[in-house]
Structure 1
Amino acid sequence: MFLALTSASRSPGVSTTALALALNSPTDRTLLVEADAIGSSPVLAGYMLGNHYHDRSLINLVDANRHGRLKAALTEQLIQIPESSVSLLPGLVHSAQADAMRPVWGPLGVHLAGLSVDDTNVIVDAGRIGQRGAPVELIVNATTIAIVTRTERTAIAALRASQNALRQQLSAVQSRASLGLILIGESPYNAEEVTKVTGLDVIAVLPDSDDAKVFSDGLSISKWRRRRSIYLHTLHRSTWPKITKFAVSHQADWKSGPALNAALPTLTGERR
């Protein structure tokens, strides 16, 4: 499975969700790639508490790709996340490096797609749709692209405004990636309402829970709380099966799919 996570608005929880899914992956081999063009490494700074120097990074693949060494260089840049089977490819050190990555995104995406065939779950934190330097050429190779969003009216409005550009980019290269939503909570609007106004099916819903801070801030959860955490229980028991099922049932067919500029209904009232 090659899963790319992105967003349409700021801070919906893409990086947190990507790490949470990686650490709860059902496979023995998982690779998490921080490809947000904004730079930095949420995993190193947050989950790993800044205890690992940010010297391994995506940016080190630029020269390697130029000399045909992308595959070997990728392995050299990986960091093992403690007490897990997850390998991390840390993100750019700062946003000014995003332009240098443009020739790398495509070849890297092809290589990651190949890795995902060999029983490796590849998860990419792709940052925000439409952001300068966004890794579109990478994520078009994904099995599934999940837009992570909350369900407030402003978040849904941002999603409606930006999703067509992404769909057009996928259509232009005849990407086979399935495109759907991962919701963070269902308040004020639920999955059915969000699908109705966006035209995108919901892959899974994750609880809007403080327990997610385990992955964003490196906070510990007691064994007692871990056993009773709805957030962790949802990750373990249902989210990955839903992602796998969605990938099979929603492969893109751009020749017979819906018109990209089809009119969609609007949200009519705030729900509480």
Structure 2
Amino acid sequence: MSVVALCSAHGAPGTTTSALALCWAWPVARPGRRVLLVDADPAGSGLLTGYLSPGVPDAAGVSALAAGRLPVTAEQVVGCGVALDGAGTRMVLPGIADPVQARPLASMWQSLLGAARDLSDSGIDVVVDVGRVGHRAEPRTWLAGADLVGVVVRGDLASVAPAAAAVRGLAAERTGRLAAVAVLVDAAGYSPAQIGEALGVTHVLSLTRDPWTARALAAGGATGWRFERSPLHRAARAVVERIDALAPDRTVVTR
């Protein structure tokens, strides 16, 4: 695979936490692959006030990348990223602090999507936190061009109803591509099959509700045996494996 985009349709169901959970599980579920989290939420980064609150280098992030020359290259993307672990198997491209900064990024997203294909060929998959759909500066490039789009949802009417509308909108956006899937973060007593039927999706990928691990991810404490054995981390590994099956690696053809 190359690009997985996560979005939400209502409130704050846990899109950023879900993206972080997948990134931490990624090298475990897909040995030999690295992962880059692109923080593309136009409403402002949740990572900058949480995981990345200690600060990021001036030369890092999507704004620094946009300030360079287009088209964006894979090397530029990695250069503007920040390692989340000592081995550099998990990286993040930090987002914006102020929604006003979102509009100038529009012309860069398509170029960055192209660079993501090159990153995939070099062993780096990309997970994108798109934030809530419907924002005036929403990066639709990711929603239309990602290999897989997951709509993050909770098992309650306030979350499911707008998510179902988002799934219908994405179906028109993604003609000829894999239909959107659901990423369920709290079933609230419903089965994945019931949630899938309500949303109109074939695949529901379930992440366990695990407040302790979610707080650890948000605070940058995703280490230690308790985290590695946590319900959320185990569920995230299973989700990455399902994503791999739904959107397998592209075959690189050489001539």
Q: TM-score range by the shorter chain?
A: 0.7 to 0.9
Match of 1:142 in 2: 146
Alpha-carbon deviation of 1:239?
1.7
Amino acid at match of 2:35: T
The separation in 2 between residues aligned to 1:126 and 1:196, in whole angstroms, is: 24
Match of 1:214 in 2: 216
Structure 1 residues 147, 30: closer, same or farther in 2, change over 3 A? Answer: same
Structure 1 residues 82, 247: closer, same or farther in 2, change over 3 A? Answer: closer
Q: Does the 8 Å CA contact 2:196/2:204 hold for their aligned counterparts? A: no
SS at match of 2:44: coil
SS at match of 2:151: strand
| Alignment deviations for residues 235-262 of structure 1 (CA, whole Å, 9 cap, x no partner) | 23x22111112225xxxxxxxxxxxxxx
Match of 1:240 in 2: 240
Q: Does the 8 Å CA contact 1:3/1:146 hold for their aligned counterparts? A: yes
Gaps of 5+ in 1: 249-272
The separation in 1 between residues aligned to 2:68 and 2:56, in whole angstroms, is: 21
Match of 1:36 in 2: 41
How many residues were matched structurally?
240
The separation in 2 between residues aligned to 1:233 and 1:195, in whole angstroms, is: 22
Amino acid at match of 1:243: I
Amino acid at match of 2:119: L
Residue pairs, 1:158-237, within 5 angstroms: 158-171=162-175, 174=176, 176-210=177-211, 211-219=213-221, 223=225, 225-226=226-227, 228-236=229-237
Match of 2:77 in 1: 74
The match for 1:129 among 130, 133, 140 is 133
Between Structure 1 and Structure 2, whose CA radius of gyration is higher?
A: 1
What TM-score do you get using the length of structure 1 for normalisation? 0.79
The separation in 2 between residues aligned to 1:155 and 1:20, in whole angstroms, is: 20
Identity %: 25
Q: Does the 8 Å CA contact 1:141/1:177 hold for their aligned counterparts? A: no
| Alignment deviations for residues 220-239 of structure 1 (CA, whole Å, 9 cap, x no partner) | 6763x336422222223x22
The separation in 2 between residues aligned to 1:73 and 1:83, in whole angstroms, is: 20
Alpha-carbon deviation of 1:134?
1.0
